[in-house]
Structure 1
């Protein structure tokens, strides 16, 4: 067994700081704690060549740095100056390691941004497309749909043949169904990224004072009645 392997094994076997029980958090709550409370920052990797996959630092980078030190950094319950809890840094490093297949750096920034704001992606709950006039005009009689002339017809009115305009009202769907579908694809992509982060943190087993549980945001909440 190499020196790195021995140190890695020791780190995995170390208890939480002070022998305290770990704080159980779902992955979304853990992200919000790391980015919103602890103010963790993403350490993004340098730009890769176009034909290379961007992997970020991830857990491997954090483990290697700790192995070099041969110890873990003591944490504390209260932030002092620019101190960021090491568990929050591990979470941030994991987010930074999102693979390109899940959105890479772009998704990592999105996940961190939402966590800092304490928000879930807007999947447009309760929104139903409505057929509405493409354009309206307001006058003293109220709001009226704008119509267009598409032809003329001869009609018999009061015993006389007259030419009248044939009007139609152009309509659109608002919001467009594709807007709703796009918002919900964005939620699905975010959910998949959180699922990957959760699996990485659980498999890594190096969080000292936080335990990431299996709790996840709802899958496709628009389908849940």
Structure 2
């Protein structure tokens, strides 16, 4: 995690400037923040329909201090990390909802970026190979027969072919890159949410983002 020069808020408090990916990794990997997902809509409970993000916003409006540390046994979770986790938990359905929120948190906790299969190029390869004393050879199948004339005689011979495929398949590469793009869109939404909410006290989320399409 690369930290920039601390900034000062209007109250004189120093802030650490982090890109959204670095901020997520700090919250989930360093501070061990937990993802508080909203209750299912069919569950009737206190606070029904409100996620942690709503609670945090209401506390801020009332001037209350955001509690921290409830998720770490004998430790302390920074309030800014709780706000970041709460924002992720509010991921809209249009960006993948709960499933994407979990994915964003898990990747941040592991310090990883989605695998978009860098440098991978589809190759045409045999569907199956076999090995014998002469080495490895492609498996062939009979696809038909032909009549051939050899030395004045007609013979029936089998026509064999080697089934091939593309590995990895182009759709696998396209799917991996769509997954990266979905993750990027989710991070962009989280960044905008954190900046517009203005609830972070010691972390400033900057405009820095991962590359939009690193394969281009």
Task: Give TM-score, length-normalised by structure 1.
Answer: 0.82
Q: Which of 56, 62, 72 is residue 56 of structure 2 equivalent to? A: 62
Q: Which of 160, 163, 174 is residue 167 of structure 1 equivalent to? A: 160
Q: Which of 179, 184, 190 is residue 197 of structure 1 equivalent to? A: 190
Query: Do the aligned partners of residues 91 and 198 (structure 1) sit closer, same or farther apart at CA in structure 2, a change above 3 Å counting?
Result: same
Cα deviation digits, residues 78-104 of structure 1 (max 9, x gap): x99231000000000000000000000
**Equivalent residue number for residue 105 of structure 1:** 98
User: Greater share of helix residues, 1 or 2?
Assistant: 1
| Aligned counterparts of 1:105 and 1:210: Cα–Cα separation in 2 | 25
| Aligned counterparts of 2:21 and 2:50: Cα–Cα separation in 1 | 20
Cα deviation digits, residues 99-158 of structure 1 (max 9, x gap): 000000000000000000000000001111111111111111111111111111122334
> Match of 1:43, SS?
coil
| Aligned counterparts of 2:27 and 2:108: Cα–Cα separation in 1 | 8
> Match of 2:101, SS?
helix
Range with greater deviation from structure 2 (123-132 or 31-40): 123-132
1:82-121 equivalences under 5 Å are: 82-121=75-114
RMSD (Å), alpha carbons: 2.3
How far does residue 61 in structure 1 lie from its aligned partner after superposition? Answer: 2.4
Aligned length: 200
